[in-house]
C-alpha cells in the first residue's frame, strides 16, 4: 500500500504498530512484545517494510529525550528496562526510513489523540493521564504538545498519604510518589490482590481516588486544562470516576472555577486507541 502514515506506540510491555490512510483510518496493525531493541525492532521494521510510508509518528515509553538541541535527542534514556537504556530509538527508525518522523512520549501521543479525535475534541487544551502498571501524563496546551527541556513526568509528583496508609510504595526512585502509591502494582502490593479482583472493596477505590484527585488538582492549578482524560487499566474500574470527581471537588474547595466535573474529568473517547491514533497524528504533523 502506498502513501500511508505509520505509527509506533511503544510501551513497556508491547509495541503497537499501525498504518493508516490520510483520514487516520487504520488499515493494518500488529502487536509486538517489548523484549530487546534487536528483537523488537526487527519485527517493527518487518511490518513497516511492507508499505510505502509518507511519515511516521512515534509515541514511546520513557523517559525519552525530546530536546532537539541535545546530543541524545530521540533516545530512550534512564528507563528501568535495562535493555533499552540510552537506546537511539528515533535514530534507528530514521536510518531505516527516509521520511519525516514525529517523536514524543506515549502519553503525549495519547493526549494528542484525545484532543484531535476523542474526548477533548474541539478544545485547545487537555491533560491525559494513564493509570495502569505505571502512571504517566501528557498534555496539549493551546494546541501544542507540552514539552520543554524534557517532557512531563506527571506520575512522579509527591502526594499526601492517606490517613490509613501503611504501604511504602513501589517507585524505585521516589517510593511513595503518585506512581509508587497509586499505580496498579501499588494496589496489589497494599491489598494482596490485583485491582480487578477488588472491584467491590470500597476502601480500595476511596484511597485510589484520594491520590488521583490530588494529582488532578495539581495539574489543574498549574496547567488550567479545559479537560482531563483518565485512561489505563486501573480506570477500567468505572466506579473510580465519580469518586475522583468527589475528592477533587473537596480538595479544590471552590478556589478556582472549573467546568462541570462530569465534563471536566472524563474517560477516554478513543478507549485503548488514543496512543496509536495520536502517533498517526504525529506522523501527519511531521509530514
For 259-279, write each residue's pLDDT tens digit. Answer: 899 999 999 999 999 999 999
Binned at pLDDT 50, 70 and 90, residue 61 comes out as very high
C-alpha distances out from residue 88 to 70, 71, 75, 205, 229, Å: 12, 11, 4, 39, 30
**What pLDDT was estimated at residue 132?**
93
Binned at pLDDT 50, 70 and 90, residue 23 comes out as very high
How far apart CA 10 and CA 16 sit, in angstroms, is 6
Binned at pLDDT 50, 70 and 90, residue 79 comes out as confident
**What pLDDT was estimated at residue 145?**
95
How far apart CA 121 and CA 119 sit, in angstroms, is 6
Single out the residue of 29, 41, 35 nearest to residue 12, CA to CA.
35
* pTM score: 0.94
Cβ neighbour number for residue 70 with a 10 Å cutoff: 13
Single out the residue of 71, 134, 69, 125 nearest to residue 105, CA to CA.
134
Helices (H), 146-183: 178-182
Side-chain half-sphere exposure of 213, counting CA atoms within 13 A: 23
Is residue 3 over pLDDT 90?
no
**Ramachandran angles phi, psi of 150, nearest 5°:** -145, -155
Region 103-126 average pLDDT: 97
**What pLDDT was estimated at residue 80?**
79
Paired with 229 in beta bridges are 128, 266
Binned at pLDDT 50, 70 and 90, residue 12 comes out as confident
Region 67-78 average pLDDT: 94
Average per-residue pLDDT in the chain?
96
% of the chain residues with pLDDT over 90: 92
% of the chain residues with pLDDT over 70: 100
Q: Are 182 and 171 in contact (CB under 8 A)?
A: no
**What pLDDT was estimated at residue 270?**
97
Is residue 2 over pLDDT 90?
no
**What pLDDT was estimated at residue 235?**
97
How far apart CA 38 and CA 40 sit, in angstroms, is 6
How far apart CA 20 and CA 217 sit, in angstroms, is 37
**What pLDDT was estimated at residue 197?**
96
Sign of the alpha-carbon dihedral angle for 44, 46, 47, 53: positive
DSSP state of 167: -
**What pLDDT was estimated at residue 67?**
94
Paired with 102 in beta bridges are 57
**Ramachandran angles phi, psi of 166, nearest 5°:** -125, -10
Is residue 1 over pLDDT 90?
no
**What pLDDT was estimated at residue 62?**
87
Binned at pLDDT 50, 70 and 90, residue 57 comes out as very high
In sequence order, the 6+-apart residues with CB closer than 8 A to the CB of 279 are 7, 8, 9, 18, 57, 58, 59, 102, 109, 113
Region 197-209 average pLDDT: 97
How far apart CA 4 and CA 18 sit, in angstroms, is 10
For 212-271, write each residue's pLDDT tens digit. Answer: 999 999 999 999 999 999 999 999 999 999 999 999 999 999 999 888 999 999 999 999
CA 33 to chain centre: 18
Task: Read off the C-alpha cell for 127.
Answer: 491533560
Region 182-189 average pLDDT: 97
Amino acid at each position: 500500500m502506498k502513501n500511508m502514515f505509520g505509527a509506533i506506540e511503544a510501551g513497556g510491555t508491547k509495541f503497537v504498530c499501525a498504518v493508516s490512510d490520510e483520514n487516520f483510518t487504520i488499515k493494518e496493525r500488529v502487536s509486538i512484545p517489548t523484549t530487546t531493541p534487536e528483537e523488537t525492532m526487527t519485527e517493527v521494521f518487518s511490518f513497516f517494510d511492507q508499505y510505502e510510508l509518507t511519515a511516521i509518528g512515534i509515541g514511546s515509553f520513557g523517559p525519552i529525550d525530546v530536546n532537539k538541541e541535545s546530543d541524545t535527542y530521540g533516545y530512550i534514556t534512564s528507563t528501568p528496562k535495562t535493555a533499552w537504556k540510552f537506546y537511539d530509538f528515533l535514530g534507528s527508525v530514521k536510518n531505516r526510513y527516509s521520511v519525516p518522523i514525529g517523536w514524543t512520549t506515549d502519553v503525549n501521543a495519547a493526549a494528542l489523540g484525545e484532543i484531535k479525535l476523542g474526548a477533548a475534541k474541539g478544545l485547545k487544551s487537555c491533560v491525559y493521564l494513564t493509570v495502569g502498571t505505571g502512571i504517566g501524563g501528557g498534555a496539549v496546551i493551546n494546541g501544542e504538545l507540552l514539552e520543554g527541556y524534557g517532557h512531563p513526568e506527571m506520575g512522579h509528583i509527591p502526594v499526601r498519604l492517606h490517613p490509613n496508609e501503611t504501604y511504602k510504595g513501589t517507585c524505585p526512585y521516589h517510593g511513595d510518589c503518585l506512581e509508587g502509591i497509586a499505580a496498579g502494582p501499588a494496589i496489589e502490593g497494599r491489598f494482596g490482590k490485583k485491582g480487578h479482583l477488588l472491584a467491590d472493596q470500597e476502601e480500595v477505590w476511596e484511597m485510589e481516588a484520594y491520590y488521583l484527585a490530588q494529582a488532578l488538582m495539581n495539574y489543574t492549578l498549574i496547567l488550567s486544562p479545559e479537560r482531563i482524560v483518565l485512561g489505563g487499566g486501573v480506570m477500567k474500574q468505572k466506579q473510580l470516576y465519580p469518586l475522583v470527581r468527589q475528592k477533587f471537588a473537596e480538595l479544590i474547595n471552590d478556589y478556582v472555577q472549573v467546568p462541570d466535573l462530569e465534563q471536566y474529568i472524563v474517560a477516554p473517547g478513543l478507549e485503548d486507541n488514543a496512543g496509536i491514533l495520536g502517533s498517526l497524528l504525529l506522523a501527519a504533523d511531521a509530514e
